[in-house]
Amino acid sequence: MRNFMNKISLVFIGIIAGVMVSLNFSAIADKEIKEELQTLPIEELRTFSQVFGRIKSDYVEPVEDKKLITEAINGMLVGLDPHSAFLDNEEYKELQIGTQGEFGGLGIQVTMEDGLVKVISPIEDTPAYRAGIKTGDLIIKIDDTAVKGMTLNEAIKRMRGKPDTSITLTIIREGEAEPLAFTLVRDVIKIESVKSRLVEPGYAYVRITQFQERTGENLAEAITKLYSESKVPMKGLILDLRNDPGGLLNSAVAVSAAFLPNNALVVYTEGRTSDAKMQLRANPEYYLRGPGKDFLANLPQSIKTIPMVTLVNGGSASASEIVAGALQDYKRSTIMGSQTFGKGSVQTILPLSNNTAIKLTTARYYTPNGQSIQAKGITPDILDEDTDNDSRLLREVDLNRHLNNSQEENTGKKSTLRKKNADSSKKSGNKADKKPKSHEPVEFGTKDDQLLTKAINHLKSMAQKSRQKTAKATQG
């Protein structure tokens, strides 16, 4: 047995060293990374190989080497933060399809917390959204199978399936005495990335539900159409990013570039490697995917100066926060709503062999003025949590193993967001007990959307103040 274990140890140390050398990313050129790879933790690797050997020899049933190694890789990545993960063939393929705006499933963004699946956000116009699944819901059963003991990938695979097949999710919800059962019918999720309409003469409404490959082009088409349909000169625009979970970085740059001056800094990233240090600007170089015509080139000139309000909430994450942060820093738009999610980390998809990949957190996002988004989010200029469509207030900072905000680490300060939310919950607790919120979410962009109404009124107020200022200047 000892000889067997020694052989296993040597083999695995060799395998791990070989894997690290074979992952020949450009970042490996950095001196610090090179030095760390040259000093492998031999004792820890020996322990790993001993555990592997014990499972192979003593586990109650035979286990394939492939399964053990795959689970070890999963464990390495899952233990880092909520957004790093190993993607097998199927998951890697679905990730690629998802960024194109069409995929199968329920339409729900989830993470794992305390062994249960926690809902980050339902995606608009999907089975999960229509059924009334809410941010903060804890999924405890999928059909008749308990979630406890599953990995996040396993749970997600169970929720996926052929369109038109049903699935029952059993959910624990804060404020509900008993678990809730939701029966949903799986569907092909086709996400309309950009929605737009004229809410009043001269006032345009544009909603971005997710940042996909063609979001920048779709936005340009929507703006052009709105201007052509308006019978009066455009007076104001409302950009709605509520419950937008993010998506592609270049699309976030394209959306920002539509409203910002040419070549303005949109966002920059800081990480350990040279590849993780980027400055992304409002320039076709940073938002076009390959050669092609600049779809923002022929937009009406006034789109750069038209008064704007950007709507955000706790479901606005990642790419949404990049756009909101850039517009806020340049004072290009009034940000209105509630504190955003706070996902300010960069995930890089690193393809491996056999059509698999790892999704690895490699950097943090910073707004043009140097504010870190991570575990903090964007604070609106006009804070209005009363009209937030989601009372759960789940944020990045609530997730297990979340990456800390680097600026708070450097200053020794801790975010007070959790305390503010807790105080707010205490103050509104009695009201919530007396009148629980309906399971039916308010549809964004409709006459029942109170925050949209407030945004329109704010734009009108801005226009009135501008007229008064002009009148005074003329009189003077």
Instruction: Tell me how crowded residue 49 is: count the other CB atoms within 10 A of its CB.
Output: 21
Give the pLDDT of residue 35. Answer: 60
Contact assessment for residue 337 and residue 243, using Cβ atoms and an 8 Å cutoff: no
* Residue 143 per-residue DSSP state: T
Determine the residue type at 110: V
Which residues are annotated as catalytic? 318, 329, 343
Question: Chain-centre distance of CA 122, in angstroms?
Answer: 12
Reduce the DSSP state of residue 378 to 3 states and report it.
coil
The answer for residues whose C-beta is within 8 angstroms of residue 120's C-beta and 6 or more apart is 109, 110, 111, 135, 245, 315, 317, 341, 394
The span from the CA of 190 to the CA of 441, in Å, is 20
Residues in the chain predicted with pLDDT less than 50, given as ranges, are 4-5, 7-29, 391, 411-439
Q: Distance of alpha carbon 456 from its chain centroid, rounded?
A: 27
Residue 420: the pLDDT is 43
The token pair that represents 8 in the structure block: 């296993």
Instruction: Tell me which amino acid residue 140 is.
Output: I
> 259 CB contacts (<8 Å, ≥6 apart)?
239, 303, 304, 308, 327, 332, 333
In three-state secondary structure terms, 197 is strand
Residues 6+ apart with CB under 8 A from 386: 450
pLDDT at 59: 96
For residue range 295-354, list pLDDT tens digits in order: 999 999 999 999 999 999 998 999 999 999 999 999 999 999 999 999 999 999 999 988
For residues 253 and 62, give the distance between their C-alpha atoms in angstroms, rounded to a whole number.
Answer: 50
In contact, 298 and 258? CB cutoff 8 Å: no
